[in-house]
Amino acid sequence: MRTTGKLDYIEMPAKGGTIDGVKSFYAAAFGWTFTDYGPGYSAFEEGLDGGFDADPGAVSKPLPVLYSDEIEETLMQVQAAGGTIIREIFTFPGGRRFHFTDPAGNELAVWGPAAAD
């Protein structure tokens, strides 16, 4: 069960623009399996769900992703607590999310379900 504010996902960069090498490493070293979402993104479910992103514009270090049932409310709470929104709410296959930095400069994201039609 997903709970607002809990660490739910971790996204890690796949340097070099290709996912195959990093997938091969984790499959060989730890037996991980993957679900591909296009040529530049591959997800895993290995205790804590996560994925590798080969997009050159993706984060350059691991990105902790929190969950929220009410993403707009969570965005306002992040701002009120002193966080800085660095990427407004956007859609992606599977839902919506935004990115922020905390007062120490750490980048995190919050994701939630797709908006109701």
Determine the average pLDDT of the residues in 81-94.
Answer: 92
The neighbouring-strand residues paired with 43 are 35, 51
- 94 vs 25: CA distance, rounded Å: 26
The residue with greater pLDDT, 117 or 13, is: 13
pLDDT value for 20: 87
pLDDT in tens, 39-78: 889 999 988 889 988 877 766 788 899 899 999 999 999 9
Query: Would you place residue 19 in the very low, low, confident or very high pLDDT band (cuts 50, 70, 90)?
Result: confident
DSSP readout, 65-114?
EEE-SSHHHHHHHHHHTT-EEEEEEEEETTEEEEEEE-TT--EEEEEEPP
Parallel/antiparallel/unpaired status of strands 48-53 and 7-13: parallel
Structural domain spans, the chain: 7-112
Encoded amino acid at 39, one letter:
P
Looking at domain 7-112, does it have CATH number 3.10.180.10? yes
pTM of the predicted model as reported, rounded to 2 decimal places: 0.75
